[in-house]
Amino acid sequence: MNETTTNVLLIEDNPGDADLVRLRLVEGQSAVKVNCVSRLADGLASLSRETPSLVLLDLNLPDSHGADTFRRLMEHSPNVPVVVLSGQDDEVLAMKAVHHGVQDYLVKGNISSKNLERAMRYAVERQALLRSLEIAQKQQLEFKNQFLSHVSHELRTPLTCIHQYVTLLLDGLAGPVAPEQADHLKTVLKSVNQLHAMIRDLLEATRAESGKMRIEPRCISLNELVQQAAAMLRPTADEKKVGLEVGIDHRLPLVHADPDRVLEVLINLADNAIKFTAPDGAVMLQATMVDADPGSAYISVSDTGRGIGPEAKALIFERLYQDPNSVDNNRSGLGLGLFISREIVRLHQGRIWVSSEPGQGSTFTFTLPIFSLPKLLAPVVTYQAQLRPDMVLVRIELTPLSNPPRGNWKETWQQCLETVRRCIYLDKDLLLPPMGAAGSAETFYVVACTDLQRSGIMTTRIREQLERVPDLKSKCTVTITSVPVQLPATDTKQSLDQQIQSVAGCVTQMIFSGLERKQLSTGKSSKNAN
């Protein structure tokens, strides 16, 4: 050991074993300072106050036993080296401990001052090496991501220039183009678009790997997204003579997800399905509910293609992986699409997997969380195991003064949403997630546990704070309305959960009615503009 004093935290409830360990440490040649506690909770508290050089851990304590002891310790302080001191010569338990990050496993009856000192020294050194390796890997990953991001951005500029000039030539703006020349230019344009897609995927994968990929969840209808994905890919399917069908479970409620990101996953999966399906085959997009998992919506893309082998299935969602058995002329990407899709689904707290057999087609399935309004409402609309007596639905609508909106509209409405969030009482009010797909107008809803008269105080506060948002008056108008929420009768025999469900149903109906009026109004405005 080093000449400096080694601070050891000994977690041991048996006084005799604790004294024996202290004796062995004193017999050693190193300067050691021992802090002994008899409970795991006391050890975790000590670790929160001060980080020791090493922890010597007994597994059977008054408040923890066996493998759970080192699991809890490693979760609390993963960077502190741990040596287990056990009365059991249990090889299976020792392997579990090592797999969880424990540096060594010693049996108390075989401990000598020499082997204890050696185990402690090796544990500290190994932990330091692991930490150095972890830091080096993080630095290497950060450098790689920065390099890829920089190169990708730099490649975009010349590619954009090539795209613009090739398009100019194809449109005949630089003079007549012979048919054969036009064919060559179309080939160039196709390759440029392919490179653009590769660079976009590379940037997305880099963001995902570095934890910088973000989602902006809204309450959305899967029906609209699936239909939109099918409409966008139908020309590709028709060109290849592949049937493209849609199946929607009409029991599906709203899901809480980022519509743009979910559409990206759908298009990626469906495009792959069409690509690897022979002419006269079929691709099916489905969104369903599964009775065994009522909290999730299941979205699947099935095809009648060549299928995927067991080895490929195990690796297909990994970064840069491409099935070596796939047809060469179909491999037009970097093998990043499924990796990006997996990361998007993971950010939604969902799962994605594939079911496939060679020659039997494939089915890719992913899940998204169902939007549960009763679950969100429950802690807000109840007090002392009873429903609050009054509730109001406050509607804040932002309508742009121009179409398209001026400036960065997304940044503007997000700033307004954050302003509204600061104006409510978290224990008595609930700001709902944005509803429907993002559009030119944005509407926010607040369920406020107050009566209609007192809600005026809230709406005044919201209006005053929104007026302070920079340049908001020059970009949009703000309309704030309050409508009472119809509550169950006071003499109802419904349980509290049933009452919350009733309130959630009423609020949902009020919101849907507002969204329908908004869509009708938007449609009329579009017609008038035309």
Helices (H) and strands (E) in the chain, counts: 15, 18
Same domain, 504 and 431: yes
Q: How far apart are CA 229 and CA 432, in angstroms?
A: 27
The set of long-range contacts for 498-507, using a CB threshold of 8 Å and a minimum separation of 24, is: 499/387, 500/374, 500/377, 500/378, 500/381, 500/382, 500/387, 501/374, 503/374, 503/377, 503/381, 503/387, 503/391, 504/373, 504/374, 504/377, 507/373, 507/377, 507/393, 507/445, 507/447
What CATH number does residue 299 fall under? 3.30.565.10
What per-residue confidence (pLDDT) applies to 238? 93
359 and 495: one domain? Answer: no
Q: Examine residue 125 and state whether it is found in any structural domain, yes or no.
A: no
Q: Is 123 domain-assigned?
A: no
Say which range, 101-105, 137-141, 319-323, 505-509, has the weakest mean pLDDT.
Answer: 319-323
- Both 162 and 270 in a single domain? no
Within a domain: 119 = no
**Please, what's the b/e burial string for 391-401 (b: 16 or more CB within 10 A of its CB; e: otherwise)?**
bbbbbbbbbbe
Full residue range of the structural domain in which residue 404 is found: 376-529
Nearest-angstrom CA–CA distance, 184 and 491: 78
Shared-domain flag, residues 224 and 359: yes
In this structure, of 65-69, 121-125, 195-199, 504-508, the range with the lowest mean pLDDT score is 195-199
Same domain, 410 and 496: yes
pLDDT score of 324:
62
Residues 328 and 386 in one domain: no
- CA dist list (Å): 367 to 200, 266, 303: 24, 12, 18
Q: Tell me which residue has tokens 């969880």.
A: 100
Distance between terminal CA atoms of the chain? Answer: 82
| 100: CATH | 3.40.50.2300
The mean-pLDDT minimum among 357-361, 490-494, 517-521 falls in 517-521
Counted domains in the chain: 4
Between the alpha carbon of residue 366 and those of residues 215, 297, 301, 341, 349, the distances in Å are 16, 8, 9, 9, 11
Q: Does residue 126 lie in a domain region?
A: no
Instruction: For residue 470, say if its preceding peptide bond is cis, omega within 30 degrees of 0.
Output: no
Token duo for residue 422: 């600061």
CB 249 within 8 A of CB 287: yes
* Same domain flag for 277 and 314: yes
Q: Residue 429's pLDDT is what? A: 92
DSSP-assigned beta bridge partners for residue 33: 7
Assigned domain for 434 exists: yes
The number of CA neighbours under 13 Å toward the Cβ of 101 is 19
Task: List CB contacts of 130: < 8 A, sequence separation 6 or more.
Answer: none
Let me know whether 158 and 226 are in one domain: no
Nearest to 302 by CA among 315, 290, 288, 291: 288
Looking at residue 392, its pLDDT comes to: 94
* Residue closest to 510 by CA, chosen among 435, 408, 460, 428: 435
Q: Which CATH number belongs to the domain containing residue 445 in this structure?
A: 3.30.70.360
Query: Would you say residue 122 lies in a domain?
Result: no
Give the CATH number for residue 157: 1.10.287
Strand partners, 222: none
The string of pLDDT tens digits covering residues 265-315 is: 999 999 999 988 999 999 999 999 998 998 899 999 999 988 888 888 888
The confidence band for 526, taking pLDDT boundaries of 50, 70 and 90, is: very low
Position of tokens 């809600």? 455
C-alpha radius of gyration, the chain, whole number: 31
Based on the fold, state whether residues 59 and 90 are members of the same structural domain: yes
Residue of 131, 129, 123, 126 lying closest to 56 (CA atoms):
123
Q: What is the 3-state secondary structure (H, E, C) of 263-286?
A: HHHHHHHHHHHHHCCCCCCEEEEE
Tell me whether residue 4 is exposed, middle or buried, using C-beta atoms within 10 angstroms of its C-beta: 0 to 12, 13 to 18, 19 or more. Answer: exposed
Last residue of a domain, one of 186, 209, 232: 209
Q: Which pLDDT belongs to residue 212?
A: 74
Last residue of a domain, one of 369, 391, 415: 369
Are 286 and 361 part of one and the same domain?
A: yes
CA distance 139 to 418: 34
In a domain, 37, yes or no: yes
524 and 380 housed in the same domain: yes
pLDDT tens column, 148-165: 667 777 777 788 888 888
Same domain, 287 and 364: yes
pLDDT value for 527: 47
Residues ≥6 apart with Cβ < 8 Å to 74: 82, 100, 101, 102
Of 190, 209, 228, the domain-final residue: 209
Kindly report the pTM of this predicted structure: 0.62
In three state form, how does the secondary structure of 195-219 look? HHHHHHHHHHHHHHHCCCCCCCCEE
pLDDT at 233: 92
Which pLDDT value is given to residue 463?
93
Contacts of 408 (CB under 8 A, 6+ apart): none
Q: Are 319 and 209 in contact (CB under 8 A)?
A: yes
Q: Which of 151, 153, 154, 177 is nearest to 165 (CA)?
A: 177
Average confidence (pLDDT) over 215-223: 86
Residue 386 within any structural domain of the chain:
yes
Round to whole Å and give the CA distance between 421 and 482. Answer: 17
